[in-house]
């Protein structure tokens, strides 16, 4: 009887801990602008936002708009870690990529040491669109779970 009660308590505690997960997104933006003119950073928001405050409902009967302003969405408290650009005047710099990898690894290890688990990684590229564009970023979102 004691074993059954103990197992039931563990199962209930496990259910509560599974439902009480939180997520955190940290983003790295690495410039792929030629000649090293871009800016590369790791960005980490230090404040929370409730998406519902900035969400409106669209239906045929009711077209209620959210009254918040776009400027209200901005996060003013965030960490910004400098990274090196992928390019310099000589072209692609593999040394810069290795340095960025070291900083990103350090950030991931710090998050894990603080109880976060790296759950997902999502990347995208907006690269140069042809002659004269000269724009581009490599963005990665690291999604942590606790």
Hey, where are the domains in the chain? 21-49+77-145
3-state secondary structure of 136: coil
Q: What is the pLDDT of residues 60-116, one digit of tens each?
A: 776 566 666 777 888 889 999 999 988 877 778 899 999 999 999 999 999 999 999
- pTM of the predicted model as reported, rounded to 2 decimal places: 0.75
> Could you give the CA distance from residue 136 to residue 132 in angstroms, rounded to a whole number?
12
> Could you give the CA distance from residue 138 to residue 126 in angstroms, rounded to a whole number?
7
> Could you give the CA distance from residue 48 to residue 26 in angstroms, rounded to a whole number?
13
Instruction: List strand residue ranges (DSSP E) for 2-132, in order.
Output: 23-31, 40-45, 57-58, 63-64, 78-83, 87-88, 91-92, 117-126
């Amino acid at each position: 009887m004691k074993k059954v009660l103990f197992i039931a308590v563990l199962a209930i505690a496990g259910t509560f801990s599974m439902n009480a997960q939180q997520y955190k997104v940290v983003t790295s933006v690495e410039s792929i602008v030629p000649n090293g003119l871009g800016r590369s950073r790791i960005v980490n928001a230090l404040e929370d936002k409730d998406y519902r405050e900035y969400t409106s409902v669209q239906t045929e009967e009711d077209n209620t708009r959210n009254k918040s302003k776009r400027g209200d969405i901005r996060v003013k408290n965030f960490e910004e870690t400098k990274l090196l650009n992928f390019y310099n005047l000589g072209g692609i710099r593999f040394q810069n990529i290795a340095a960025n990898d070291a900083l990103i690894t350090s950030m991931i290890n710090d998050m894990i040491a603080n109880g976060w688990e790296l759950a997902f990684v999502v990347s995208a590229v907006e690269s140069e669109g042809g002659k004269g564009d000269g724009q581009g970023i490599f963005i990665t979102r690291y999604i942590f779970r606790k």
